[in-house]
Structure 1
Amino acid sequence: MNIVGISACTVGIAHTYIAQEKIEAAAKKAGDNVKIETQGTIGIENALTDEDIAQADIVILAVDVKISGEERFAGKKVIKVSTQTAIKSPNKLIEKLHELGRQ
């Protein structure tokens, strides 16, 4: 499965990057392709391209704040969770994405 997403926390530092790492590790463990854009205090990093989004089967938004560019995902299956959920239960989160992807 091809997964793309965004992580962003209220402070824009630690949880943004921890959520990104946890999601990427769990997705790779499940055999998925994954790319997570971060929107933190230093701006957007690892930006998703139009091609990344077009090839995505599902989008995950692990966010605690308003993000920029959410409209890019129009027409895609999108799941939104807190950064805490992504950090504490990344494997369950990826399982849920697989279930949604099959629907």
Structure 2
Amino acid sequence: MFIVCVAACPTGVAHTYMAAEALEMTGKQRGHEIKVETQGSMGVENAITDADLARAEGVILAADVAIINKERFDGMIKLECRVADPIKFGEAIFDALEQEADHG
């Protein structure tokens, strides 16, 4: 499964990158291909492209602030959570997204 993710926290520093790393590690351990866009003090990094969106089977939005261009994920299988959740509850986040993908 190809999953795109966005990680963003109010300051856009520590938690953003910790969440991005947790999403990548947990996703890969579960056999998924993961791309994580970060939005923070450095701006948007590793931006999700139109090609990424076209092939994505799901999206995880881990944020405590408004996501830039969130509407690009409309109509997709989506899980929204706090930015710290992938760090603390990574397996549960992927369980929920996978279950939604399997059962719609």
What TM-score results when the alignment is normalised by the length of structure 1? Answer: 0.96
Deviating above 3 A after TM superposition, structure 1's stretches of 4 or more consecutive aligned residues are none
- Alignment RMSD, CA only? 0.8
Matches within 5 A, 1:1-103: 1-103=1-103
The code of the aligned residue for 1:83 comes to: V
CA distance in 2, matches of 1:2, 1:101: 11
CA distance in 1, matches of 2:62, 2:28: 17
Residue-pair matches, total: 103
State percent identity of aligned pairs: 42
Q: Which runs of 5+ in 1 are unaligned?
A: none
Q: Which runs of 5+ in 2 are unaligned?
A: none
Find the residue that maps to 1:10 and give its secondary structure: coil
Find the residue that maps to 1:83 and give its secondary structure: coil
What TM-score results when the alignment is normalised by the length of structure 2? Answer: 0.95
